[in-house]
Chains A and B, each alone.
Chain A
Amino acid sequence: MPDAPILSANTELSGIASEMRYRIVKTSHESGTPHLGSCLSCVDLLVYFYWRVLQINPKHPRATGRDRFILSKGHAAPALFQILAERGFFPRSRLEDYGQDGSIFGEHPPSPSALPGIEAATGSLGHGLPMALGMALASRVTDSPYSVYAILSDGECNEGSVWEAAMMAAAQKISNLTIAVDYNKWQATGRSDKILGLAPLAEKWRAFGWCVSEINGNDFDEISEAITSNARDPRPKAIIAHTVKGRGVSFMEDDNNWHYRIPNADEVISAAKELGVEAA
């Protein structure tokens, strides 16, 4: 049986999130892996899911009744890898070859067979939600009561397949599927509300038949409220999580250069100070 989630207090989660942010920044510096801004915006959502929500047992990562989590915005894999290691899916030492030739740790999640804790090899946008929906429907068919969670990016909502899945989830009255859209207001080359007509995003999901909550996605109390207050709603659930790209490091916040920029050694030290983490 999968283990119950760890019921850490929100203050503890903040400390974990800061430590994860630091490791992500440091690994970006060491390995030259980009998408730092996209990773930092969704760290709090990831920490909340992995510490407070998911019924998973890292020692039995393929247990049939486990909850599934898909990082549909696969380019935030550097954040996911740190979190999976911290939760014990694999030892942190495995991350030492990050970004080197032959490593499985790069810019996107590898195939599930290659790394415990990975449910889907995302990276091409718009794939995670349909796969999550398939897993959620499989729970119904197999009478195995697990839940499926996914984090999408706002830019990812450009993809038509996201909305195809949204319509099918509503038609199937699927209740064990919850997504968070990491609404950091940027995509690769500009503002996500300007490149395509993304706003009003919450209204779009509502119109597609989903149970929608709109929150500050960098605030654990608000994430907690969104998850718990809608837990019994029979519809698929979307959390429109307003976040800040580069959250937690002042000189990265809301600066889209950090979609691709790699921090230098001094910037890593500055980030550690701001995050209140001892540089290692």
Chain B
Amino acid sequence: MRNAFADEITKLADSDPRLILLSGDIGNHLFDNLKDKHPARFFNCGVAEANMMGVAAGMALSGLRPVVYTIAPFTTMRCLEQIRVDVAYHNAPVVIVGTGSGLSYASLGPTHHSLEDFSIFRAIPKLQVITPYDAPSLRSVLRDALAGERPTYIRIGKKGEPEIVPECDSVGIGKAKVVRNGTDACILAVGTIAYEALKAADILIQNYDISAQVILINTVKPLDRDLLSELATKFRKIVTVEEHSKAGGFGEYVSAHIAQSRLPLEITCLGCHDDFMHSVGSQAFARTYFKIDADSIVEAIAMNTSSNASSAA
């Protein structure tokens, strides 16, 4: 996803002279193309994220369209107050990009995990919270964010994420994407965990004769309330899965809406439990540790879902 980001941001910079990229001293050679073509519009701000965010806000208030890029925990929590005050309170159109989000950097330990960003940013007014699931969806939401005027956080993966929805079918900010039709279960997969949800759907139909609908979510805030109302007419239960803490995450956001709107939906929320992961490992290992991998999704659904076939029997 980060290569797609570098490519797309360069294309966007070609067509919009207001676009500025600020990086927190990461992405060695990643932005060489942009730097070659538009040297005056790339700023390596060093390992000084609080300043970087304030600088971006100052630029946005002066008519530019700054995009801030560094590793997710450092472009979110390290400079949180600058995001709240300089960006959101001023309604400054800064696009904040957190790379290597969720458990992408599982091998680097909890300092580099970002499992709290949704919950923190949900509470900040004006800020939209975006979570693309593959390279084409990243390109779409980035274009949308820069076409709009809102402060925006975009949480992306690292590299090698499988392409799920081809570029021609990719959807923009706020649009859910049904990638698998099903009738027995419904999975709402948030951002980069999409691939695990699709794998789970495959296993469910093959091994359990359970047909699961899979809906990819690229926008945590604002919440797609219409989608939930529609799902309530088709399903009795939904499962949310996210590479994020269960505390204050997408699942809890949906749960609160279901309760407050009295929607007839049972919900199971899969996400990271309330602990730091002390051991290191691959992203796949970390997803298994937090029970958000395909097998864990299958387990959560199979144990309380009956397939059409079995319910008919």
> Residues of A with Cβ closer than 8 Å to B?
64, 68, 111-113, 119-121, 124, 126-127, 129-142, 160-161, 164-165, 167-168, 171-172
Contacts and interface: CB of A to CB of B under 8 A. Distances in A.
Nearest to A136: B58
B86 A168 contact: no
A137 B55 contact: yes
27 contacts: A111-B90, A113-B91, A120-B61, A121-B85, A124-B85, A127-B54, A127-B81, A127-B82, A131-B86, A132-B58, A133-B51, A134-B58, A134-B60, A134-B61, A134-B66, A135-B58, A135-B61, A138-B62, A138-B63, A139-B62, A140-B40, A161-B50, A164-B48, A164-B51, A167-B48, A168-B51, A172-B43
Secondary structure of the B contact surface, majority rule: helix
A204 B217 CA distance: 49
Max count, chain B CB within 10 A of own CB: residue among A119, A164, A165:
A164
Contacts of A121: 85, 89-90
Closest 8 interchain pairs by CB? Answer: A134-B58, A130-B54, A138-B62, A164-B51, A164-B48, A134-B55, A131-B58, A161-B50
B142 interface: no
A160 B63 CA distance: 27
A135 B82 contact: no
B53 interface: yes
Interface in B49-74: 50-64, 66
B156 interface: no
B46 interface: yes
Interface of B: 20, 40-41, 43, 45-46, 48, 50-64, 66, 81-82, 85-86, 89-91
A228 to B, nearest CB: 26
Nearest to A171: B46
Contacts of B54: 127, 129-131, 133-134, 161, 165
B50 A130 contact: yes
B50 A160 contact: yes
B55 A141 contact: no
A131 B55 contact: yes
A168 B50 contact: no
A248 B181 CA distance: 76
Secondary structure of the A contact surface, majority rule: helix
Contacts of B20: 141
Nearest to A113: B91
Contact of A134 (B40, B62, B85): B62
B63 A142 contact: yes
Nearest to A142: B63
A134 B43 CA distance: 11
Nearest to B53: A130
Given A124-B81, A134-B59, 5 more contacts: A131-B54, A131-B55, A138-B64, A161-B51, A168-B51
A112 B91 CA distance: 10
Contacts of B43: 137, 172
A168 B62 contact: no
A111 B54 CA distance: 15
B63 A134 contact: no
